Amino acid sequence: MRTEQPKMIYLKDYQAPDYLIDETHLTFELFEDHTLVHAQLVMRRNPERVHEAAGALPPLVLHGQELELLSLSLDDQALEAGDYRLDDNQLSLQPRQARFVLDSSVRIHPERNTALEGLYKSGKMFCTQCEAEGFRKITYYLDRPDVMSRFTTTLSADKQRYPVLLSNGNPLATGSEEGGRHWATWEDPFKKPAYLFALVAGDLWCVEDAFRTHSGRDVALRIYVEPENIDKCQHAMDSLKKSMRWDEEVYGREYDLDIFMIVAVNDFNMGAMENKGLNIFNSSAVLAKAETATDAAHQRVEAIVAHEYFHNWSGNRVTCRDWFQLSLKEGFTVFRDAEFSADMNSRTVKRVEDVAYLRTHQFAEDAGPMAHPVRPDAFIEISNFYTLTVYEKGSEVVRMIHTLLGAEGFRKGTDLYFERHDGQAVTCDDFVKAMEDANGVDLTQFKRWYSQSGTPRLEVNERYDTEARRYSLTFRQSCPATPGQPQKQPFVIPVELGLLDPAGHPLPLRLEGEATAAGSNRVIQVTEAEQTFTFLDVPAKPLPSLLRGFSAPVKLSFPYGRDQLMFLMQHDSDGFNRWDAAQQLSVQVLQELIEAHRRGDALVLDPRLPEALRSVLADDSLDQAMVAEMLSLPGEAYLAEISEVADVEAIHAAREFARRAIAEALYEPLLARYRANRAESQRVAYAVQADQIARRSLQNIALSYLMLSARPEILEACLDQYQHCDNMTERLTALAVLVQSPFEDDKARALEAFAEHFKDNPLVMDQWFSVQAGNPLPGGLERVQALMGHPAFTLKNPNKVRALIGAFANQNLVNFHRADGAGYRFLADQVIALNALNPQIASRQLTPLTRWRKYDEARQGLMRGELERILASGPLSSDVYEVVSKSLA
């Protein structure tokens, strides 16, 4: 735990390093009660900095945390205590020459490391997580991404316990030692920053395959897992090969080492890590087979495998100069993986899922106390900035560049970027500059997306002049104040749009000043605070379809009536906007119900909503996955996000009322669809392919509606699906709807049978915890507290924390926001306990409490009270301190 006063670090203070490390030679001796690390660093003065301080050499200041220094020597001369200075997180000494070799030996304790950062043990294996600043917990080093070095690593360990010894790069040599130990040496020919270092030692099995690159080189592919998981690797391996091919085809990027390895570990703070040649994954992001993982879990594995693989170029070959530039690699790589998933599956469905997620969670972040630009300008703890803004909004920013330049122009830009900066540590400005230079465009104003925080609002109004046949759209943009940024400058907002004539056909689009029409779908750029675009030759008043494909991460409003939204749902040529019209219709109807509930009025559902959904359900031309998406009402968290003051009880009551009313109105067609799809699921064997995934998603959403009727025939169907299926997608939904149903005995039996059957599979048990944590029926907190005592639960495993505590606080709004504050107290207790064990996880779990400004006064007081209690609870990690103090500011 860091106990020193946390300090703010600013982008404006960036300075290049005084010294560089050309070579890094590491030796690890792994033992059960300690590990010895020897580092030999071949260093020299940074030529870029020489002119700045003529004469004397600057001191060398190395990072180091929780290290026990055993010995230190400079050019083979042992250093005495007086030759260097040591404090809690750095080691300083004075070099005598511009080139030197520094040797250090330290003792560390991975076996006691519960923060899961640096070198640690997950179960019986050793593994590492160094990004962002974990390498300094392994050895004294210049632990910053602009110091790139060539690494060789030798690790030695007991041969029986740790038969597999891995590190980055290509394998060089292996051998045995006395006393039952063995060793292996790995060499990584590519320069890399320390955050990409990795090591693994364990008793692992592997699935092996091969990939021939575009230029004809053969690459060995290996996925290492604990023996019991060897049957769950094929999907990840298939995903890896698809990713490698896709990156060659779409970006011209080839893999560069002889071997690519993935290792699955159970204890991991996030999804996965792109260490050069040796990706380390949370087992939840690798392991998947029909019986244990849902369709969504399979798709998550595919996306994360691709994401980490794509980092080999966007992140590793070209890396970040400093951590403020994190979105350089993360925003770009999320964009790359999203496009990959869109190409592998349904493009529209992928976009719908991503936008719904962004609007619910990133927009909330942008509106809260932790709001920050895609390129932040200050932080206390960088681990707190692996955020939805840096990742998801960062990806939207790259997508907008793609939209503005077109696919070809964008590819020219990435080619130039990779060629110009290969082997370098660069900035977001360098990325944009490559885009500008390759396309001869000026993106100066566009770059405000990197520096201004907050979600822009875009208000649109129309005017139609029948006589002149002119149709004008006026756009007004604004952006709310965010911490440290009271005023904003106008953004460049690309708006993809079309106009529909009264029959629903697309109109040709000719803007004022243009000689002829150019297509019926185009992208206009809103660059001013207020701007009007006028379309000519418009024969009758059209209906605009705006922000198609969600072409910019903004909150757009246009005064659509409900009939107009229904019209768009049917006729818009843009699939995304058809879904969005359904969403907007649902939002309007639900907001009306929320208001009625708050007034104490009887709830009445606008019949147009079930009618619109009835036509969607009946439309055989639609992709079933899109039908499922359109049938899903906006989530409670999204409804809370768009409320001025979030009344969680009214939101829950209104949404449940609407679901029941829809279920009743559409009982027959839902049942028919359910039966047809279920029959098909029983007829064909499970496969992870788009048509089957679509069929199951519609089957499952139909079941969740039907179960609201509580009819015996539906209970029977649900139990049948639960018991007789060959896959987790059907089983888990059946269990989830049963859990939320009034059938207490069946529920208890199913939960018990499930736990008994899957007790040895931690990932399936995570799903079992989540299904119960998300149950909105009264008594949610007590159920979660009881589950904390279940033998499969532990606070030490991040997946368990997320599955139970995270699911409760983020997805079970009525129970978490209980009026007496017991939900808040519970979460604060867990954060205090986690702060001592794993600061990164503690800080993540805090998020729901940071949103206190969204709720009524009583709840605000209770939430603030818990934040204050955390602040006073004793020495806090910098992670928790930063989030709590900013939330209370």
**Interacting residue ranges for ligand B3K, rule: CB under 6 A:** 131-132, 270, 272-274, 307-308, 311, 330, 383, 386
Element (H, E) at 239: helix 234-251
Give min distance, CB of 613 to ligand B3K, in A.
Answer: 37
866 binds, among Zn ion, ligand B3K, none (CB under 5 to 8 A by kind): none
859 near 817, Cβ under 8 Å?
Answer: yes
200 binds, among ligand B3K, Zn ion, none (CB under 5 to 8 A by kind): none
The residue type at 206: C
512 near 452, Cβ under 8 Å?
Answer: no
Give min distance, CB of 386 to ligand B3K, in A.
Answer: 5
What lies within 8 Å, CB to CB, of 298 at 6+ separation is 235, 288, 688
131 binds, among ligand B3K, Zn ion, none (CB under 5 to 8 A by kind): ligand B3K
Q: Which is nearer to Zn ion, 311 or 859 (CB)?
A: 311
383 binds, among ligand B3K, Zn ion, none (CB under 5 to 8 A by kind): ligand B3K
Catalytic residue among 66, 133, 308, 381: 308
Buried b (16+ CB within 10 A) or exposed e, 642-675: bbeebbbbbbbbbbbbbbbbbbebbbeebbebbe
| Nearest to 288, CA basis, from 370, 377, 207 | 207
Q: Which is nearer to Zn ion, 307 or 421 (CB)?
A: 307
Give min distance, CB of 308 to ligand B3K, in A.
Answer: 5
Please state, in angstroms and rounded to a whole number, the distance separating the CA atoms of residues 697 and 352. 14
Give min distance, CB of 838 to ligand B3K, in A.
Answer: 11
Please state, in angstroms and rounded to a whole number, the distance separating the CA atoms of residues 365 and 376. 14
Question: What is the pattern of x (binds Zn ion, CB under 5 A) and - over residues 330-349?
Answer: x--x----------------
29 binds, among Zn ion, ligand B3K, none (CB under 5 to 8 A by kind): none
Q: Which is nearer to ligand B3K, 311 or 351 (CB)?
A: 311
Give min distance, CB of 433 to Zn ion, in A.
Answer: 22
Q: Cα 313 from chain centroid? A: 19
What lies within 8 Å, CB to CB, of 851 at 6+ separation is 364, 368
Give min distance, CB of 333 to Zn ion, in A.
Answer: 5
Q: Which is nearer to ligand B3K, 647 or 879 (CB)?
A: 879
Q: Which is nearer to ligand B3K, 308 or 866 (CB)?
A: 308
593 binds, among Zn ion, ligand B3K, none (CB under 5 to 8 A by kind): none
What tokens appear for 90 in the block? 């750095």
Give min distance, CB of 274 to Zn ion, in A.
Answer: 6
308 is catalytic: yes
Give min distance, CB of 397 to ligand B3K, in A.
Answer: 16
Q: How many residues bind Zn ion (CB under 5 A)?
A: 2
Tell me, letter by letter, the H, E, C secondary structure of 523-554: EEEECCCEEEEEECCCCCCCEEECCCCCCCCC
From residue 868, how far is each of 5, 421, 483, 494, 874 by CA, in Å? 18, 46, 20, 42, 11
Give min distance, CB of 385 to ligand B3K, in A.
Answer: 9
Give min distance, CB of 131 to ligand B3K, in A.
Answer: 4
The side-by-side arrangement of strands in the sheet containing 125-129 is: 118-122, 125-129, 199-202, 164-167
Question: What is the pattern of x (binds Zn ion, CB under 5 A) and - over residues 304-333?
Answer: --------------------------x--x
Q: Which is nearer to ligand B3K, 308 or 496 (CB)?
A: 308
Give min distance, CB of 265 to ligand B3K, in A.
Answer: 14
Q: Which is nearer to ligand B3K, 116 or 661 (CB)?
A: 116
772 near 738, Cβ under 8 Å?
Answer: no
What lies within 8 Å, CB to CB, of 613 at 6+ separation is 582, 630, 631, 662, 666
**What residue spans of 261-377 are helical by DSSP H?**
295-310, 326-344, 347-357, 363-366
Phi, psi of 114 (to 5 degrees): -95, -5
* Neighbouring C-alpha atoms within 13 Å toward the C-beta of 528: 6
Please state, in angstroms and rounded to a whole number, the distance separating the CA atoms of residues 601 and 598. 8
Please state, in angstroms and rounded to a whole number, the distance separating the CA atoms of residues 649 and 565. 27
Per-residue DSSP letter, 359: I
| Residue number closest to ligand B3K, CB atom | 131
Give min distance, CB of 844 to Zn ion, in A.
Answer: 16
Per-residue DSSP letter, 391: I
Phi, psi of 775 (to 5 degrees): -70, 115
What tokens appear for 630 in the block? 């359109």
Torsion of CA 822, 824, 826, 829, to 10 degrees: -140
Tally Cβ neighbours within 10 Å of residue 705.
Answer: 22
270 binds, among ligand B3K, Zn ion, none (CB under 5 to 8 A by kind): ligand B3K
Please state, in angstroms and rounded to a whole number, the distance separating the CA atoms of residues 577 and 565. 10
What tokens appear for 885 in the block? 């103090």
**Rounded to the nearest 5 degrees, what angle is found at the Cα of 340, between the Cα atoms of 336 and 345?**
150
| Nearest to 456, CA basis, from 499, 404, 397, 398 | 397
Rg for the chain, CA atoms, rounded: 28
273 binds, among ligand B3K, Zn ion, none (CB under 5 to 8 A by kind): ligand B3K
Tally Cβ neighbours within 10 Å of residue 630.
Answer: 25
Q: Which residue has the tokens 């927009």?
A: 363
Q: Which is nearer to ligand B3K, 395 or 624 (CB)?
A: 395
Site residues for Zn ion per CB under 5 A:
330, 333
Q: Tell me the catalytic residues.
A: 308
